[in-house]
Every structure is written in structure tokens, then in C-alpha cells.
Amino acid sequence: MASPAQDLGPLLDKDGVRLTVDDAIATVTLTNPAKRNAQSPALWRALAEAGRVLPGSVRVVVLRAEGQSFSAGLDRQMFTPEGIEGEPTFIDLARSSDGELDASIAEFQAGFTWWRRSDLVSIAAVQGHAIGAGFQLALGCDLRVVADDVQFAMRETSLGLVPDLTGTHPLVGLVGYARALEICVTGRSVLAEEAVSTGLANIAVPGEQLEDAVRDLASAILAAPRDAVIETKALIRGAQGRSYDDQRAAERAAQARRLRDLAGLGE
């Protein structure tokens, strides 16, 4: 899926990640299709850097991937005794202190967290395999548009691990506890029809229509005033953690801010 923003030149292009910006839309592309966009600590650091260098003018971030697969999960070299050159192996991580191990995993997670920033709406365009870390990266975004050949799967448990790249919280929020548990502990694939019916994906389209569907969704988001989108996103995100009455109060406060801003009476 080509991106017109690429013509403007990348702000970042390293370790399998490219960031381009076209006015209010940024595009983050996974750029290692030969390895099905397998993930490594270097890629995670590049994802975190993309979030840090994102210009303040950006309102929508599109996450996409080159090739037939969105991301097939962890680079298999990470499972070998030698690991990836220059990176700690799983054995090295296991032998580190509690604090060091926690800090290492927190660093890995940083590339997955910024997609839900309050001032952005992020859209994952997902085709083919989105497995493990790939599934969790797609879950890091606010919205997911998928091709009809998509295959989501959480394989960490079958490898003796757990999903630790921030994917469990959004997964439970989207599909509920029982289905999220079943998906994770069985490692089975979730295909396009189920992804849409359970709320995991917003829409599924034929692969050749994925780019257009994402572009249309981004345009619809940009049609609304930015501050109204930011306030609405905050309301929706906070709803699950609030009581009904607390949510009513949050709506009143947000609307008061919007009315005063529209009337030129905001701070």
C-alpha cells in the first residue's frame, strides 16, 4: 500500500521504520517485508523515536506495513542462544536484576504507547499476518482498518511467554475478558469477519482497497475541529473507568470548555 506522504521525504527512516508527514497526517511504515516486518528491540526503539519527533501539526497517524504481512511478530533470531547482535538475549534479560528487567521491558513497551496520545487519532492499516508483537502494535492504535486476508494471533503464551507489549488492556476493552483470554491462551487466528463482528477492527475491505479506506477515515476525522476531537477522544477513553454519574459530569465539563472556546471565552 503506497503512501503519498512518502514523496515529501521521511523524518525518520531506520531499523525497519519510516516516518513521513503530509500536513496533518503522519504515516509510520514498517519497511522490512522480506522478513514479514518481524520485530526487534531496534525496531521498537525506532517506533518510540517516531513518536518523539512527530510534529505538533499532526492530527492523524496512520500505521501501515510494506509487503503481504503487517508484522509476523518477534524476529525469530531473538529466540536463539546468540540472539540479535548488539542486543541482550532472552537469557541475558532473565539473568538481570528485577529492576533492570522491568526497565528493559518498559523500554520495549515505549514504542507501543504513544499511539493513544490525547492529541492524536491513530489508525492501523493491517493486512496479512499480525502475530504477537504485530497484533499488539495494531492494538496500540485507536482504530484498525483491515484487509480481508488479515490474520490476528497472540502466540506468546504458546511460547511460554505472555503478551507484554501493552496489548492486553486494549484487547480486553475491545472484545471482553472471556474472548481475550481464549484468543491469548489458544494462540488461534482471528480472521477479518470475526475481527469486525467483535469490535477488534472497525472495517474490513479487500486488500486493494485498504489504502483508500484508511484515507477516507483519516479525512473524516480531519473534517471535525481538532479540539472537539481531542475532547471527544478523552471522554470515550475515560468512560470505562468512570461511573455513569462521573461520565455525565465529565461530559458537562467538556461541553462547557467547548462552548466557552467557541464563544471566545476560553482561557
82's CB contacts (< 8 A; 6+ apart) are: 89
* Confidence label for 1 from pLDDT (cuts 50, 70 and 90): very low
Mean pLDDT of 211-229: 98
Rounded Cα gap, residues 150 and 69, in angstroms: 8
Taking only the tens place, the pLDDT of each residue in 27-51 is: 999 999 999 999 999 999 999 999 9
Q: Is it the case that residue 6 has pLDDT exceeding 90?
A: no
Q: What is the mean pLDDT of the chain?
A: 95
pTM equals 0.94
- Domain spans of the chain? 4-222, 226-262
CATH 3.40.30.10 fits 4-222, yes or no: no
Q: Hey, what long-range contacts does 261-265 have (CB within 8 A, 24 or more apart)?
A: 261/227
Report percent pLDDT > 90 for the chain: 92
Per-residue confidence (pLDDT) for residue 8, from 0 to 100: 58
